[in-house]
Amino acid sequence: MITNLSNLDEIKHGIDTAVEMVQHAQPLNYDPTIPIYADDFIDESGYDASLAGMSNAEKLDYFNQSVSGMETEHLKLSGIFASGTNIVCHINTRSEHIQYFSTTDAQVSIVLAHAKLKWEVIAEQSAHRKSDLNTVTPHRDLSWLIERYQNDPSQQIPIGTYDIVFGAAAISSLLSVMNWIGFSGGSMKRSSSFIAENKVGHKVFSDKFTLIDDPTRLETFPFKKDLMGIERQPFLIFENGVLKSFIWSQDDADEFGAQPTGHTVSHNSLVLGGGDHEVSTIEALAKMPRERDVLYIPFLHYLNIVNPSKGVITASSRFGTLLLKKDGSIVVPFNVRVTQSLLDIFGDKVAWLSKATIAHNTSSSYGSRNPTALVVPAFMQVNDLDISHSNTSY
């Protein structure tokens, strides 16, 4: 239930309702573990008073500086600046001790949309402290993209095979799906993962792929202890493409007789290691020499799972997609659809990852707030991926 902490009568009523519901619950075939907290644990390392107290006037000024000189009669600004303080407290009747976590977060999306031509460009930022925010980066990227969309030709591109560079937002979306159908021990045991149990210790992805769940990275709004009170340390999931371990929440571990790994949390703190390519901006990416045309997809929209046991996902492009021609010219393609297995996207088709990494905010605005971010390379090129559909217009 969602209520006010001071409304004790409503809280007590909620507990009474839960008690009444228990008699209708189906029996489990395992005994769930209920934590006993041995001592109090208070973590405020992710809290920044300056971000928590940021005013609406400051947020409006941020927007105005980020799009300064760009708005026109047809080019309209929209977006969202969501920020605040997040407090999570764990307590139960088995002890008098608590776990307490306090963080601040900001999730910013700035959209400039052409009212007549119906194209849009977007810039995003994530922050766990006020000093993370800057207006130079979104202004630089938006102004460059607008110039491309206004001056370079737009067209429907043929379906077929492309070398694709994914941006940080797209990479984050793909890894977020892998949370559910990849390295979760419970999903693997329920046959809803595309990675089998016997793959531990074996190469699954590209040797350029190293993925860690790292609760020391404050950019990810981490939990340094999980709901069960297990202290969380950096946890290696993939190293150079080799699966090192599945992650196990306590409940999945109880059901399948496994050892919990400190992952009874509302979100992981995933960090995908960077590569060796010295490219950190869209403009620099466009200026890189290339032997073939390269399709740049910064965002994936309406991403969904086609076949979890095969790791097949489908998603469409929308904001800021570009076709970088081998002759140095640029085409603005209409939306395209990618339907592909994660085994291919993160497999041996990976050509390179950028050295620069970005904290990308993937928080959802639905339900109770659960600030979530992943640290990923700014860019990742994957060769020979299929485009299954190409729109005829924006």
Query: Tens digit of pLDDT for each residue in 337-374?
Result: 999 999 999 999 999 999 999 999 999 877 778 999 99
- Both tokens of 182, joined, read 């990849």
Which helix or strand (DSSP H or E) is residue 22 part of?
helix 8-22
Q: Residues 6 or more apart from 205 whose CB is under 8 A from it?
A: 238, 241, 343, 346, 347, 350
% of the chain exceeding 90 in pLDDT: 96
Q: How many CA atoms lie within 13 A of 50 on its CB side?
A: 8
Q: How far apart are CA 7 and CA 386, in angstroms?
A: 55
Question: Which residue ranges form the domains of the chain, and what is each CATH number?
Answer: 8-142 (3.30.2290.10), 155-390 (no CATH)
Helix (H) or strand (E) segment spanning residue 153: none
pLDDT in tens, 280-292: 999 999 999 999 9
- Position of tokens 């073939």? 292
Question: Which residues have C-beta within 8 Å of that of residue 110, sequence separation ≥ 6?
Answer: 63, 66, 67, 77, 79, 122, 123, 124, 138, 142
pLDDT of the residue at 85: 94
Unique residue bearing structure tokens 């946890």: 235
Overall average pLDDT of the 9-31 stretch = 94
Query: Residue 315: exposed, middle, or buried by beta-carbon count in 10 A (0-12, 13-18, 19+)?
Result: buried
- With H, G, I as helix, E, B as strand and everything else as coil, classify residue 354: strand
Residue 126 pLDDT class (50, 70, 90 cuts)? very high
Instruction: Please state the pTM of the whole predicted model.
Output: 0.95
Which of the four pLDDT bands, split at 50, 70 and 90, describes residue 307? very high
Q: What is the rounded distance in angstroms from the CA atom of residue 319 to the CA atom of residue 303?
A: 14
| Average pLDDT over every residue of 2-19 | 92
Per-residue b or e along 72-102, where b marks 16 or more CB atoms closer than 10 Å to that residue's CB: eeebeeebebebeebebebeeeeeebebebb
The residues that bridge with 331 in the sheet, in sequence order, are 323
pLDDT at 103: 97
- Predicted pLDDT of residue 344: 97
Handedness of CA 112, 118, 121, 124 (dihedral sign): positive
At 42, which amino acid appears? I
Do residues 359 and 219 make contact, with C-beta atoms less than 8 angstroms apart? yes
241 pLDDT exceeds 80? Answer: yes
pLDDT digits (tens, 9 = 90+) for 135-167: 999 999 999 999 999 999 999 999 999 999 999
Within 8 A by CB and 6+ apart from 26, the residues are: none
Ordered DSSP codes for 96-126? S--EEEEEEEEEEEEEEEETTT--EEEEEEE
- Of 103, 100, 99, the C-alpha closest to 229 is 99
Please tell me the predicted confidence (pLDDT) of residue 3. Answer: 86
Q: What does the mean pLDDT of the chain come to? A: 96
Say what the pLDDT of residue 332 is.
97
pLDDT, one tens digit per residue, over 63-75 is 999 999 999 999 9
Contact by Cβ (8 Å): 316, 335: yes
Distance between CA atoms of residues 329 and 314, nearest Å: 28
- pLDDT (0 to 100) of residue 367: 75
Please, what is the Cα angle at 292 between 122 and 144, to 5 degrees?
25
Distance of CA 217 to the CA centre of its chain: 14
- Position 50 pLDDT exceeds 90: yes
Half-sphere exposure of 286 (CA within 13 A, CB side): 17
* pLDDT of amino acid 368: 77
Give the position of tokens 């300056």: 50
**Around 211, how many Cα atoms within 13 Å sit in the side-chain half-sphere?**
27
User: What distance in Å separates the CA atoms of residue 154 and residue 148, rounded to the nearest whole number?
Assistant: 10
Q: What b/e readout covers 278-309, taking b as 16+ CB neighbours within 10 angstroms?
A: ebbbbeebbeeebeeebbbbbbbeebebeebe
DSSP-assigned states of every residue in 215-261: TT-GGG---SB-TT-PBP--EEEEETTEE---B--HHHHHHHT----
